[in-house]
A and B are shown apart, each in its own frame.
Chain A
Amino acid sequence: KQEVTQIPAALSVPEGENLVLNCSFTDSAIYNLQWFRQDPGKGLTSLLLIQSSQREQTSGRLNASLDKSSGRSTLYIAASQPGDSATYLCAVRLDSGGSNYKLTFGKGTLLTVNP
């Protein structure tokens, strides 16, 4: 059974700092990995999706990397801002052939960026 772990569970940093969020998964046979953002009381917003054949994806100040063989992904946020404060979730989709759809989510990292 795929398990996804996110460390740390919570992180507080001063504005302007660069930071890294970690995600690990137990079954390396994944099809892709996604990072989501969730604001308090809101739904999830997809930030980045990395296919299993890719090593990284970038969007603005965000960079996500994937090391499938070691079962790890990192989300790097450059020059953090108070508006980045949210819970960040990673989710993996297994590559089991056919049309397996299922996403397995981690429990998230609660990020607070202090002005």
Chain B
Amino acid sequence: NAGVTQTPKFQVLKTGQSMTLQCAQDMNHNSMYWYRQDPGMGLRLIYYSASEGTTDKGEVPNGYNVSRLNKREFSLRLESAAPSQTSVYFCASSRGVTKGIQTQYFGPGTRLLVL
């Protein structure tokens, strides 16, 4: 049982390049999330997927797109990377978003540097 896995662990991009961050969970969770963590800013929610087939914007969605490929996988895409997107990206999952089922389990993170 690997929990939440993320690939890649580290990536360097040039401004304007695109890339997709991959996330998978093996806990049969319904809900998945993407966060970014920046020094002095804390963790901020980018997008979330309450259940397979649905996605919604979080606090800082601009410049990102997501795909809930199936129940296990939730990807985050940067279409045209900008230096402001340099950050550590965390994927998380939970059984659901409704009350009573909220503990989120986090992956190890992807460190992204945009030059």
Contacts and interface: CB of A to CB of B under 8 A. Distances in A.
A44 B90 contact: yes
Interface in A72-92: 89, 91
Interface stretch (B13-21, B62-70, B71-79, B96-104): B96-104
Given A42-B109, A43-B108, A101 B40 contact: no
B48 A105 contact: no
A89 B102 contact: no
Interface of A: 4, 31-32, 34, 36, 41-46, 49, 89, 91, 93, 99-103, 105-108
A107 B90 contact: no
Contacts of B82: none
Interface residues of B, number: 25
A100 B6 CA distance: 25
B58 A102 contact: yes
Given A43-B106, A49-B102, A91-B43, 16 more contacts: A41-B108, A41-B109, A43-B107, A44-B106, A46-B104, A46-B105, A93-B102, A100-B97, A101-B31, A101-B48, A102-B45, A102-B58, A103-B45, A103-B104, A107-B40, A107-B41
What 9 A-B pairs are tightest by C-beta distance, nearest first?
A101-B97, A43-B106, A44-B106, A105-B43, A105-B42, A107-B42, A99-B98, A43-B108, A99-B97
Contacts of B90: 43-44
